[in-house]
Structure 1
Amino acid sequence: MFDLELEKVSKWISDGGFASVAVQLPEGLKIRAPEISQYITEHTDASVLIIGRPCYGACDLFDHRGWTDALVHYGHSKIPSMGDDDTVLYIEARSDVKIDDGVRDILKDLPNNVGVLATIQYIDLIPEMCKVLEDIGKRPHVGMGDRRICYLGQVLGCNCTSAENIADKVDCFLYIGEGDFHPLAAAFGAGKPVIVLNPITNELRDMSEARDRLIRRRFAAIQTASGARSFLVMVCSKAGQCRMDLARGAERIIAESGRECITAVMEEVTPDSLASYGVDAYVCTACPRIATDDSARYGKPMLTVPELEIALGRKEWVGYPFDQIRG
């Protein structure tokens, strides 16, 4: 179960004197929107507006001004480099799951030096996991990322600096969480094996195959885009994903290679939003995972800027160049 901290939310709204509040939820928590809305309505004088659009992270923070007095953003931690806002409350929805005693047996074959990572929902399990690893004779390591990262050991889909900063000290990383999205970032960026522990099912799996499969797809996209004569460079209007300087750099790379280029700013990158542009390939400066994970949806090759440099002969392929949004 994920803690919605409804008492804290209601107190913050009442203490702030907010007459209206927007609630932003990731897809996995939208099923609990009625519960959240009803609780706030019953325990405060504020009206509630649920934000219905997709939400992928704190980089996707809804601009509530003009809509409501305040915003409650669920499911993600704040991004320190984006600054503070007294009208925004982050509720991280941490899990109450505990490390099962049986996990010792399935971790005994890990190498000696283990970096420990987690998504925000399971960040509280890192100290407990470090104790478990020490008990079975391993040496745990936990790193701090750059200013885009809020907690020790935290990994985002676009930023694995918590892993990157201790990669030279570890033989592998143990990621506590579910799914592939976050651990793939560490598998791409840290250059060491990443093992995923699902704390709910006690399932342990290696990300190497998923990483290698995705890298093969990226190599194919780069090869295809190398013959493109025209490119669309995409800039995201979301504050946490806007990298205009990177887009200008991509424009220069394309121009210097003798190719054509147009640049467009977008709120959401979807197949429909790209369909009208008559170009041969796309360059994404928004969330890099749009290119790496979702490119099969678009019909034309989509590259990150480091991949663009390889496609146009500016750099050699020496290891996979994971594009991170750094803080």
Structure 2
Amino acid sequence: MHEIPPGEILKTLRELNAERVLIQTPEGLKREAQSLADFLEENGIEAIVNGDINYGACDPADREAKLLGCDALIHLGHSYMQLHLEVPTVFVPAFAEANVVEALRINLEEIRKLGRRIALVTTVQHIHQLERAKSFLQEKGFTVLIGEGDGRISFGGQVLGCNFTAAKVDAEGILFIGAGYFHPIGVALATKKPTLAVNPYSGDALWMDEEAERLIRKRWAQIAKAMDAQKFGVVISTKKGQLRLNEARRIMKLLRDHGREATLIAMNYINYPALEGFDFDAYVVVACPRVPIDDAENWRKPVLTPPEVELLLGLREDYRLDEIFGMEKTGNEPLGVALHGIRIHL
């Protein structure tokens, strides 16, 4: 279950004088979005639910909200991201109800193998329990660090699938709290430090060393398949938080400087079937770093990330995940974080 505070959302919308809103939701929160729409309608606010797939705060539906004449966009399930948006946007993280401290208690002996000085990171679903987790671990003798991260990160200790800056602190090892593999693997590769993932739902703990090595082997296989490729499609996203035109131009120049052909392709939803009509030998995705990794098996042609192109061309030796970095934090970021993590972009 996830915690969505309808009363606080309603209060925020009334402060914005919003009469019509668009609700954007990831797949796992569609029922919560439906319930929220019903609640808002009962309280005099016209609510429209966006049925498109949503991939994160990097993919806001502000253009759609403006087109529909909405006064605001409610973006469920993700934390605030610093973007230029066309309508006031209310970011509402959906906090999970899993007991984080109990999962840490069960796995205390494994956690001790990280060392005494550890960094604590998680995804936005568990960020509200991070201070409790820190206090518990400190009581058990650990020195616990929570990194701030750069301007793409809303909360201290938060990691995204495209940004692991909050994990890059002076620690012996990294403790990740959450489900799934991609985030802790990314932490392990970004920090090159021992990383233990504790799942607060199952209570399981898993070391990321072998998982990271397995991922690297798969990615080297993609690079090897692209070694003889001459014509590259360099794919960028028109999603606001994924648009990396300058990085795409840099990659195109590298390819051309090394005797390869490169063509720039712009897409909103990046998927291989939409590209099958082209005759490129390989693709480079300069958008969400997870697309070429999570979906690689669905591509008939090799698909690479920007750092993998550098490996392909012999410009680097060490493997690293692609990351999208935010601006340096100044302390003047828009608006504050409310009780349930709600943040408004005006």
Amino acid at match of 1:48: A
Cα distance change on mapping 1:105 and 1:33 into 2, 3 Å: closer
* Residue equivalent to 2:6: 6
- The corresponding residue for 1:16 is 16
Greater shift in the superposed pair: 61-70 or 115-124 = 61-70
Task: Tell whether the 8 Å contact from 1:74 to 1:92 is kept in structure 2 after alignment.
Answer: yes
User: What does 1:104-183 correspond to in 2, within 5 Å?
Assistant: 104-109=105-110, 110=112, 111-164=115-168, 166=169, 169-183=170-184
Task: Give the match's secondary structure for 2:322.
Answer: coil
Cα displacement (A) at 1:19? 2.4
Please give the residue correspondences for 1:1-327 in structure 2 after superposition, counting only pairs within 5 Å.
1-43=1-43, 45-63=44-62, 64-67=65-68, 68-80=70-82, 82=83, 87-101=88-102, 103-109=104-110, 110=112, 111-164=115-168, 166=169, 169-313=170-314, 315-318=315-318, 320-327=319-326
Which stretches of structure 1, 4 residues or longer, exceed 4 Å deviation after superposition?
83-86
Deviation at 1:161?
0.3
Give, in whole Å, the separation in 1 of the partners of 2:106 and 2:4: 33
- SS of 1:76's equivalent in the other structure is coil
User: 3-state SS of the aligned residue for 1:58?
Assistant: coil
Contact 2:163 2:324 in 1 (8 A): yes
Q: Is the 8 A contact 1:156 1:185 kept in 2?
A: no
Moved more, 6-15 or 270-279: 6-15
Name the CA shift for 1:310/1:19 in 2 (closer, same or farther; >3 Å).
same
Q: Residue type matched to 1:125 in 2? A: Q
Counterpart of 2:341 in structure 1 is none
* Count of residues in Structure 1 that have an aligned counterpart in Structure 2: 320
* Post-superposition offset of 1:16: 2.1
Higher RCO, Cα 8 Å, sep 6+: 2
> How far off is 1:13 after superposition?
2.3
Write the deviation string for residues 105-142 of structure 1: whole angstroms up to 9, x where unpaired. Answer: 52234222211001111012211111222222222111
Can you list the C-alpha shifts for 1:188-247, whole angstroms capped at 9, x where unaligned? Answer: 211112211122332211122221111101111111112101000001101100000001
Contact conserved, 2:3 with 2:94, CA < 8 A, in 1? yes
Check the 8 A contact 1:235/1:284 in 2, yes or no.
yes
- Matches of 1:12 and 1:102, distance apart in 2: 34
* Secondary structure, counterpart of 2:58 in structure 1: helix
Partner Cα separation in structure 2 for residue 326 and residue 102 of structure 1: 31
Matched-pair identity in %: 33
**Unaligned 5+ residue runs, structure 2?**
327-346
Say if 1:108 and 1:136, in contact at 8 Å, map to a contact too: no
State whether residues 4 and 32 of structure 2, in contact with CA within 8 Å, keep that contact through their aligned partners in structure 1.
no
> Could you say if the C-alpha distance between residues 17 and 189 of structure 1 is closer, same or farther in structure 2, counting changes exceeding 3 Å?
same
User: Are the counterparts in 1 of residues 57 and 241 from structure 2 also a CA contact under 8 Å?
Assistant: yes
